[in-house]
Every structure is written in C-alpha cells, then in structure tokens.
C-alpha cells in the first residue's frame, strides 16, 4: 500500500502558546510531500521533527490570516539558502503573491528557484492538482475572509494479476490490460470468470480532507462524504458556540457532528484556542457525537485509512 500519512506541525489557533504552534501540516501521499498551511515557525517545526523540507514541492495555503501563512517567507528563504533550485507550487489566495513580492523587494533578496502561483478560484470541487497518483480539490469554507479547504485523494490503482493466474489461463497482453481495467474473462468455451476471481483485490482510493478555518457549515458535507480522515477545526468547546459563530469558527461538538453527518472514517480535531491547556474536554466533546475522533498533536503522524 502506498504511503498516505499526515504529520501535524502546528495545532494552535491564532495566538500560539509556549507548547502549541500555529497551523501547519505535512501530508505524504506516495512520496509526494504536501505542506498544508504554514504558520509562523513552520520551518523550525520541520527541523525539530527531522522532516526534510526540500522534498516539499507543493504548498497549499487556506487563507490569509497570519496564523496560516506567516511562516512561508522564512521557509522559502531557507529553501533558497540551502541550495534549492527546484520550482515550488503555491496554491493560495491571489493576494499572497503581493505579500511575498513586496518582502523580497525590500530585503533586496532573490531566490534561486521559481514560485508558481495557483490562485484559488473559491469554487467547490475545483481540481487544483493532479498527477498519476493523487488529485487535490478545493472546498469553499465559511470564514471571515475568503478561505479554502482541500480534499486530497488517491487515484484508483490498477489491479494486480498474479503470475499464477496469468499462467493458469494463458492470458495475452490485451487480456491482462482488459482485466486490470475491470473486465471479466470469457474462456474459449464461453465460461465467464468474474474479474474478482482474477485480480488481487484493490484497495479503494483513500482521501484526506482539511477544513480550517470555518464556521460549522453543512453545505460542505457533499464534498467530504466518506473521507478516510477529516481534519476539522474545533477552536472552542460548545459552551462557547456563540463566540465560535461570531468568529467564524467551529466547536468540538460541531466538528463531531460534521464527521457523523458526512460519514467519515476518522475525525481529527485541531486549531485549539490558547485558552485550553488541557485538550481532553475538546476530545471528549467531539467523541460524544463521533467516537473515532483523535486530537491533532504536534510531531505525531497518522496513517490515513489505516
């Protein structure tokens, strides 16, 4: 099975604490390393957890609140100072380009690699990245300023056929390709051998959904249905639901409800308000609605769909 693993680099909301950094996540799908948001000190977290940041070629920024992008300039600069020449793709609000360029201009700095900007169109289900193994789509979130979530999804793998089966039925190249694509085998005598008896069972494509920052908004359910792992912000306990609504954030209870209604396999909550030193009450609250919930903890990795 190919790698599909999420590592948390920062899990705090706007004001970091001495123990929790602002939002950043590293997602490894089949050795593609995607950085999701890049709060202040992300480069320091990457070093702390011994994650090689030059392997990151694609960075996804959800929105332009500082706790989701202020680490970007430092990371881009360090990538240059450490010899990067490979281009980097930035999926982000269009305005981020001005923010980056004004700083390079005033520091009279250049970087020795290209930044390729892919500005958000703020559309649901917009395909923003695709290669032979992975696709990434946007979800429009409901925040104080324009904000996108992301759906990272594996592509279906071609089925495998064992050597024994090939030999047993004397399969031709054309037959092998047809069976890999899902065809049954019809023998010379007209017997049908179902595809499932010929191929090694394929794993269903897995998906990871990132939703931060956002109000509780059921309009996104159709885009996240059945995800293997849903990261949903849970800034507050439900006793602060009025504050959550006012600041366009979500409570742990609402995050659990979203996971339940979308029928996901597992929920991870994060983006905790600095007021919560102990995260257990947030976890308990989400679990009261959706049992398979885990906490985003910095430095910890989670296999998607395990």
Q: Which of 6, 9, 11, 14 is the binder for a copy of itself (CB under 8 A)? A: 14
Can residue 130 be called a binding residue for a copy of itself (CB under 8 A)? Answer: no
Question: Could you confirm whether 67 is annotated as catalytic?
Answer: yes
What part of residues 222-281 is at the interface with a copy of itself (CB under 8 A)?
A: none
Can residue 144 be called a binding residue for a copy of itself (CB under 8 A)? Answer: yes
| In the complex, minimum distance from the CB of residue 158 to a copy of itself, in angstroms, rounded to a whole number | 41
Contact window for a copy of itself (CB under 8 A) among 98-106, 177-185, 208-216, 223-231: 98-106
Contact window for a copy of itself (CB under 8 A) among 107-115, 126-134, 164-172, 281-289: 107-115
Can residue 28 be called a binding residue for a copy of itself (CB under 8 A)? Answer: no
| In the complex, minimum distance from the CB of residue 103 to a copy of itself, in angstroms, rounded to a whole number | 6
| In the complex, minimum distance from the CB of residue 102 to a copy of itself, in angstroms, rounded to a whole number | 5
Measure the CA dihedral 233/49/281/40, to 10°: -50
What part of residues 73-92 is at the interface with a copy of itself (CB under 8 A)?
A: 73-74, 77-78, 81-82
The DSSP secondary structure of 34-91, one letter per residue, reads: EEEEE-TTHHHHHHHTT--GGGEEEEE----SGGGTTTHHHHHHHHHHTT--S-EEEE
Contact window for a copy of itself (CB under 8 A) among 24-32, 102-110, 228-236, 260-268: 102-110
Q: Classify 170 in phi/psi space as left (phi over 0), alpha (psi -120 to 50) or beta.
A: left
| In the complex, minimum distance from the CB of residue 115 to a copy of itself, in angstroms, rounded to a whole number | 15
How far is it, in rounded angstroms, from Cα 75 to Cα 279? 29
Per-residue contact flags (x/-) with a copy of itself for residues 189 to 218, judged by CB under 8 A: ------------------------------
Binding residues with a copy of itself: total (CB under 8 A):
38
Determine contact, residues 248/225, Cβ cutoff 8 Å: no
User: What are the counts of helices (DSSP H) followed by strands (DSSP E) for the chain?
Assistant: 9, 18
How far is it, in rounded angstroms, from Cα 239 to Cα 236? 8
- Closer by beta carbon to a copy of itself, 233 or else 285: 233
Determine contact, residues 100/73, Cβ cutoff 8 Å: yes
How far is it, in rounded angstroms, from Cα 290 to Cα 293? 6
Can residue 18 be called a binding residue for a copy of itself (CB under 8 A)? Answer: yes
How far is it, in rounded angstroms, from Cα 8 to Cα 156? 26
- Other CB atoms within 10 Å distance of the CB of residue 305: 18
Can residue 116 be called a binding residue for a copy of itself (CB under 8 A)? Answer: no
How far is it, in rounded angstroms, from Cα 235 to Cα 237? 7
């Amino acid at each position: 099975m190919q790698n599909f693993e999420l590592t948390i680099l920062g899990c705090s909301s706007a004001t970091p604490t001495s123990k929790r950094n602002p939002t950043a996540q590293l997602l490894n799908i089949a050795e593609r390393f995607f950085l999701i948001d890049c709060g202040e000190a992300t480069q320091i977290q990457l070093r702390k957890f011994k994650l090689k940041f030059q392997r990151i070629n694609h960075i996804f920024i959800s929105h332009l609140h500082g706790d989701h992008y202020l680490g970007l300039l430092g990371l881009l600069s360090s990538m240059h100072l450490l010899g990067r020449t490979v281009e980097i793709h930035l999926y982000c609000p269009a305005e981020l380009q001005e923010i980056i360029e004004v700083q390079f201009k005033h520091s009279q700095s250049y970087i020795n690699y290209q930044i390729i900007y892919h500005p958000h169109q703020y559309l649901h289900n917009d395909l923003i990245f695709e290669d032979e193994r992975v696709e990434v789509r946007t979800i429009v979130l409901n925040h104080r300023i324009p904000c996108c979530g992301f759906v990272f999804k594996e592509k279906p793998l071609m089925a495998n056929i064992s050597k024994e089966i090939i030999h047993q039925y004397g399969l031709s190249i054309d037959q092998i390709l047809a069976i890999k694509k899902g065809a049954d085998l019809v023998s010379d005598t007209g017997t049908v051998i179902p595809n499932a008896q010929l191929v090694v069972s394929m794993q269903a494509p897995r998906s990871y959904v990132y939703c931060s920052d956002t109000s509780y908004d059921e309009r996104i359910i159709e885009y996240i249905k059945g995800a293997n792992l849903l990261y949903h912000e849970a800034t507050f306990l439900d006793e602060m639901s009025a504050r959550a609504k006012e600041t366009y954030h979500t409570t742990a209870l609402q995050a659990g409800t979203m996971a339940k209604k979308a029928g996901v396999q597992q929920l991870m909550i994060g983006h905790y308000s600095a007021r919560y030193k102990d995260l257990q009450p947030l976890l308990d609250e989400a679990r009261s609605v959706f049992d398979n919930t885990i906490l985003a903890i910095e430095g910890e990795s989670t296999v998607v769909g395990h």
